[in-house]
Amino acid sequence: MDFFHKPVLLEKSLEGLNIKKNGIYVDCTLGGGGHTTEIAKRCTLGKLIAIDQDMDAIENFKSKYSELDNVITINGNFKDVKEILLNINIEHIDGALMDLGVSSFQLDNPERGFSYMQDAILDMRMDANQKTTARHIINGYTEEELRRIFYEYGEEKWAARIAKFIIEERNNNFIETTGQLVDVIKKAIPKSARRDGPHPAKRTFQAIRIEVNKELEILENTITDLSEMLNSKGRLCIITFHSLEDRIVKNTYKFLEKDCLCPPGQPICTCEKTKTIKIISKKPILPDEDELEMNPRARSAKLRIAEKI
């Protein structure tokens, strides 16, 4: 299967990065290479470091875009971005992009076990070398642990019932496939609640994917690390696809923009906190109607931009 991911908010991201020809940039989420190639075309005298924990993404990019000799691809997790850059003697960068969406290849490839639309082995690992899969979570977590991740990471109001039904099902059968899990979820959610809105399994699958890949746990620290490595006027562009990620990005930006954390009215600042960024997009930047028509998966995308002081 061809590894392709239609880049979301492409023009707005490129504009947000304010790319210099001789700049050093990081694409923390190479994926199908849509953003990567366009950034590389604009920093022709500079360097672009493209990171992905999925080796398929790396191999695909190398085979398709070998002519882009200003791109360095690295197989790794963006949580280690500081270490990755220092290992190749890069201490400062002029911009970074994070696109936190799952690539079309991962969603559409049944073997990866991300999709509730195709029956496959439950997997959902972005890094195929990682040991924990969706099967481990669905068949190993307690009812309370399942309820928590469905509610917190999927914002699923039927979290308790879904968790209960999973426990009941796995007492009789090991839940091996996405199809089995979808059937259990459909049984757990009352028919009247399944008539409208998204696919009944959408929120639960999102929650499991986040838990498998520890997506939210690493986000705040990565934003902080990237902001520390930015040169003055360097830009950080982050695209999120659900409210949990967006909230973390928004709140981390706000914290980094604060100049003092002391209580109001305290005459002398003792916190030693200094403002390190300025928020460029006070409100999230959304796809326009033309993009939504071309790429419906962009519907929930939000872009937030910050600039190093």
What is the tens place of the pLDDT at every residue in 247-265? Answer: 999 999 999 999 888 888 8
Q: Torsions phi, psi of 200, nearest 5? A: -60, -25
Nearest one of 164, 299, 154 to 241, comparing CA atoms: 299
pLDDT tier for residue 3 given thresholds of 50, 70 and 90 = low
- Check whether residue 31 and residue 83 sit in a common domain: yes
Q: Are 165 and 110 in contact (CB under 8 A)?
A: no
**Is residue 277 in some structural domain?**
yes
- Check whether residue 48 and residue 118 sit in a common domain: no
- Check whether residue 159 and residue 207 sit in a common domain: yes
- Check whether residue 119 and residue 186 sit in a common domain: yes
- Check whether residue 205 and residue 221 sit in a common domain: no
- Check whether residue 75 and residue 153 sit in a common domain: no
Nearest one of 204, 206, 197 to 183, comparing CA atoms: 204
What CATH number does residue 205 fall under? 1.10.150.170
The last residue of one of the domains, among 168, 191, 213, is 213
Residue with tokens 């947000």: 16
**Is residue 227 in some structural domain?**
yes
For the chain, the average pLDDT equals 93
The last residue of one of the domains, among 213, 238, 271, is 213
**Is residue 233 in some structural domain?**
yes
- Average of per-residue pLDDT across 97-117: 82
Q: Torsions phi, psi of 270, nearest 5? A: -120, 0
- Average of per-residue pLDDT across 166-173: 96
- Check whether residue 265 and residue 195 sit in a common domain: no
**Is residue 46 in some structural domain?**
yes
What CATH number does residue 295 fall under? 3.40.50.150
Q: Which two tokens stand for residue 128?
A: 């195929």
pLDDT tier for residue 97 given thresholds of 50, 70 and 90 = very high
- Alpha-carbon distances of 302 from 97, 210, 287, rounded to whole Å: 13, 18, 8
For 222, the domain range is 10-100+216-308
pLDDT tier for residue 278 given thresholds of 50, 70 and 90 = very high
What is the tens place of the pLDDT at every residue in 124-168? Answer: 998 888 999 999 999 999 999 999 999 999 999 999 999 999 999
Alpha-helix runs per DSSP H in the chain: 10-17, 34-42, 55-64, 81-87, 104-108, 134-140, 143-154, 159-170, 178-188, 202-213, 219-229, 243-257, 289-294
Q: Torsions phi, psi of 304, nearest 5? A: -125, 135
- Check whether residue 116 and residue 209 sit in a common domain: yes
Question: CA-to-CA distance for 178 and 116, rounded, in angstroms?
Answer: 6
Q: What pLDDT score does 4 carry?
A: 54
Q: What pLDDT score does 161 carry?
A: 98
- Check whether residue 93 and residue 14 sit in a common domain: yes
- Check whether residue 209 and residue 229 sit in a common domain: no
**Is residue 41 in some structural domain?**
yes
- Check whether residue 37 and residue 122 sit in a common domain: no
Question: CA-to-CA distance for 100 and 123, rounded, in angstroms?
Answer: 19
The last residue of one of the domains, among 185, 213, 241, is 213
Domain count within the chain: 2
**Is residue 186 in some structural domain?**
yes
Q: Are 41 and 112 in contact (CB under 8 A)?
A: no
In this structure, the number of other CB atoms found within 10 A of the CB of residue 216 comes to 17
Question: CA-to-CA distance for 265 and 274, rounded, in angstroms?
Answer: 18
**Model pTM score:** 0.88
- Check whether residue 91 and residue 25 sit in a common domain: yes
**Is residue 4 in some structural domain?**
no
**Is residue 267 in some structural domain?**
yes
